[in-house]
Amino acid sequence: MTSSPRPLQGKVALVTGASRGIGKAIALRLAQAGAKVACVATEASRAEESAQACQAVTPGAKAYGCDVADTAAVQALVDAVQKDLGGLDILVNNAGITRDQLMLRMSEEDFDRVIEVNLKGTWNFCKAASRPLMKCKGKVINITSIVGLTGNAGQANYAASKAGVVGLTKSLAKELAGRGVCINAIAPGYISTDMTAAIDDKAKEALQSKIPLGRIGNPDDIAAAVEFLAGPTGDYITGQTLVVDGGLSL
């Protein structure tokens, strides 16, 4: 059996953190596969460029604004997406922040906010989207990080949040498998984005030297993995964490 050239034709996808970097690449990749994409950022205006790029490929894309840590706002947004785009088949939880600091210098506020956005935000969307996804045997892809698997000095808050996403993914996969919903995670390694651009050149070179494939990843490396799990190719995969890091964590 050959797969459709647009395997997500007729599907509706919601992507958080879609204004730039990995999230923008994911949104466009899903649109290229035929999905109508709801592009979510903290403010709708920040996701507008991504939505327009998706709209040019598959009509129906729209930008939305939401604080992912606000449970009521997330529920309202998911309801709006279903009304505006005609349903919800695929959820990609990509929104995330960093507030790096060694533990002895890290403030409680910085710890709490990273957990709220990265972990609670993922839970908020999974909960709000669960009923529509159960109706269509939908897909959830949560973007975690290899830091959530390996830990990293100066990122206790970020690593804890991303490790939590892995545990959340496994638990919800068990809860919703009986309803046909597949829930997986993707753990990117070092990817070239605005978030990693602040790393100085020496540190980048040192990190790149540790990657067996010999190159820094790009956002489309992650987007391709999302498309794989979101489409029919991912129909018998659930509860897994797919590491996409060029071998960095080996």
| Rounded average pLDDT over 55-72 | 98
- Mind listing the pLDDT tens digit for each residue in 187-207? 999 999 876 777 778 878 888
Query: Residue 3: which pLDDT band, with cuts at 50, 70 and 90?
Result: low
pTM: predicted TM-score of the whole model, two decimal places: 0.95
Query: Residue 1: which pLDDT band, with cuts at 50, 70 and 90?
Result: very low
Answer yes or no: CATH 3.40.50.720 is held by domain 12-243.
yes
Q: What is residue 236's three-state secondary structure?
A: coil
| Rounded average pLDDT over 214-229 | 97
Q: What is residue 18's three-state secondary structure?
A: coil
Q: What is residue 199's three-state secondary structure?
A: coil
Tell me the backbone φ, ψ of residue 38, rounded to 5 degrees.
-90, 110
Tell me the backbone φ, ψ of residue 11, rounded to 5 degrees.
-90, 155
- The Cα 19–Cα 22 span in angstroms is 9
Average pLDDT of the chain, as a whole number? 95
**Residues ≥6 apart with Cβ < 8 Å to 5:** none
**Residues ≥6 apart with Cβ < 8 Å to 81:** 12, 14, 38, 62, 64, 88
pLDDT at 193: 84
- Mind listing the pLDDT tens digit for each residue in 22-63? 999 999 999 999 999 999 999 999 999 999 999 999 999 999
- The Cα 141–Cα 169 span in angstroms is 9
Domain range list for the chain = 12-243
Query: Residue 116: which pLDDT band, with cuts at 50, 70 and 90?
Result: very high
| Rounded average pLDDT over 144-166 | 97
Whether the CB-CB separation of 241 and 186 falls below 8 Å is answered with yes
Query: Would you name the residues annotated as active-site residues?
Result: 158
| Rounded average pLDDT over 141-162 | 97
- What residue ranges in 29-116 does DSSP mark as E strands? 36-41, 62-65, 90-93
Tell me the backbone φ, ψ of residue 213, rounded to 5 degrees.
-75, -5
Overall residue count recorded for the chain in this entry: 250
